[in-house]
Amino acid sequence: MPIGRSVFAQLMDCMPRRAFERCVERYRGQHRIHSFSCYDQYLCMAFAQLTYRESLRDIETCLRAVQPKLYHAGLRGRVSRSTLADANESRDWRIYADFAQILIRRARQLYGDQPFAVELAQTAYAFDATTIDLCLALFPWAQFRRHKAAVKLHTLLDLRAQIPTFVAITHGRTAEVTLLDALVIEPGAFYVLDRGYTDFGRLHTLTQSLAFFVIRGKRGLDYARRLSRPVDRTTGLRSDQTIMLCGPKTMTLYPVPLRRISYVDRETGHRFVFLTNHFTLPPLHIAQLYKCRWQIELFFKWIKQHLRIKAFYGTSVNAVKTQVWIAISIYVLVAILKKQLGLDRSLSEILQILSVTLFERVPLSQVVTAFLVQDSRDDSCNQLSLFNL
């Protein structure tokens, strides 16, 4: 009987190899390199992400333990921690950023028909950032406070597909609202923002770009009511108004009407005020759309728990960005695998299964779908009862 390929090799078959090589060529990743290619580097880092390796020495030890299996998994170069450290330090992180964007486009096509909590024809995005703490002694370039270092991970999440479409890694001191300038605005799309992104000049830019936003309003906003619409108070809505900003600065930055919706969460009793430039969507849908913003917080929590982005294998800026982008590409690659195989398992379950079966020679679909069910009625006749009197 022919021996099958390893689970790791089958998983890597899901990635478009030719597209990866184009990314390498774009940034001259193979310039003067005769061994340990960028693809070898990617495979080592992917292995580290999938199996939760703690350090470069850990990666080296584990891969050398399965040395005879590496060639058929696609890894041709000799694995050593010094070689991998040099690769992470010197090879342009944009290779892996561009490749992750290719996977993201593919995943969004697969998840385009996902059900969404709000009846919405347009694409809805949530934009937010999370802070990744670092050791100041090892990452002096990322000093955040006097005794602390950090970087920020800014993410634009497609709420329907739950796939990150834009990712930026910046210094921990970077003001999060300034990253709105880096977004390529999609006309007709909704951008759901927390109140920390309240900048009426930038919000007006979204309006001029024919995009819509939903943002939580801050207290003390100076405005004048122009119109009030009736609401069903049994749903938690309290008001639906058209307003004009009256502050000496805000009225200049945002000179056109805004919609203000007041809503009380019936479960918690908390009052929320939302501002939006969309005037026809039912007010309850606006409140539900903002509630979907919580998905990006869950995304940040998920990747910090299940991927290696809180502890790094290198200390340079390039090494940090390389590791984060490879981690994101692995997240998207597993999401693609889940959709292609039609799996009911969660991404975390799939990652756990892959972590212990990477070098098993069985079909990938069989590994992630097979499970054992213990039948409690199948009692062995030799098993004594603990409470038998």
From 96, 83, 76, select the one nearest 56 (Cα to Cα): 83
User: Is 313 among the domain residues?
Assistant: no
215 and 273 part of one domain: yes
User: Is 314 among the domain residues?
Assistant: no
- How far is the CA of 227 from the CAs of 239, 243, 258, 260, 283, in angstroms? 11, 7, 11, 10, 14
Whether the predicted pLDDT of 202 surpasses 60:
yes
**pTM summary value:** 0.88
130 vs 297: CA distance, rounded Å: 8
Show Cβ contacts of residue 367 under 8 Å, excluding neighbours closer than 6 positions: 7, 353, 354, 357, 360
271 and 334 part of one domain: no
User: Is 127 among the domain residues?
Assistant: no
Quote the pLDDT of residue 371.
53
pLDDT tens profile 98-155: 999 999 999 999 988 888 878 888 899 999 999 999 999 999 999 998 889 999 999 9
Tell me, what CATH number does 199's domain have?
2.20.25
227 vs 358: CA distance, rounded Å: 61
Quote the pLDDT of residue 3.
55
49 vs 303: CA distance, rounded Å: 11
Are 313 and 48 contacting, i.e. CB atoms less than 8 angstroms apart?
Answer: yes
pLDDT tens profile 331-386: 999 999 999 888 888 888 999 999 999 998 888 888 887 654 344 444 445 554 44
Quote the pLDDT of residue 101.
95
Final residue of a structural domain among 245, 263, 279 = 279
User: Is 375 among the domain residues?
Assistant: no
> Could you tell me the sign of the dihedral formed by the alpha carbons of 28, 134, 104, 349, in that order?
positive
237 vs 335: CA distance, rounded Å: 36
From 285, 294, 287, select the one nearest 119 (Cα to Cα): 285
Element containing residue 50 per DSSP (H, E): helix 38-51
In one-letter notation, the amino acid at residue 359 is F
264 vs 323: CA distance, rounded Å: 42
25 and 83 part of one domain: yes
Residue 98 per-residue DSSP state: H
User: Is 212 among the domain residues?
Assistant: yes
Mean pLDDT of the chain: 90
- How far is the CA of 382 from the CAs of 21, 378, 379, in angstroms? 60, 12, 8
Quote the pLDDT of residue 1.
33
Final residue of a structural domain among 247, 263, 279 = 279
Whats the size of the chain, residue-wise? 389
User: Is 289 among the domain residues?
Assistant: no
354 and 274 part of one domain: no
User: Is 16 among the domain residues?
Assistant: yes
From 236, 281, 237, 232, select the one nearest 259 (Cα to Cα): 281
Residue 115, both tokens: 């059900």
In one-letter notation, the amino acid at residue 214 is V
315 vs 69: CA distance, rounded Å: 30
User: Is 102 among the domain residues?
Assistant: no
Total domains, the chain = 2
Final residue of a structural domain among 261, 279, 297 = 279
Range of the domain at 204: 195-279
23 and 88 part of one domain: yes
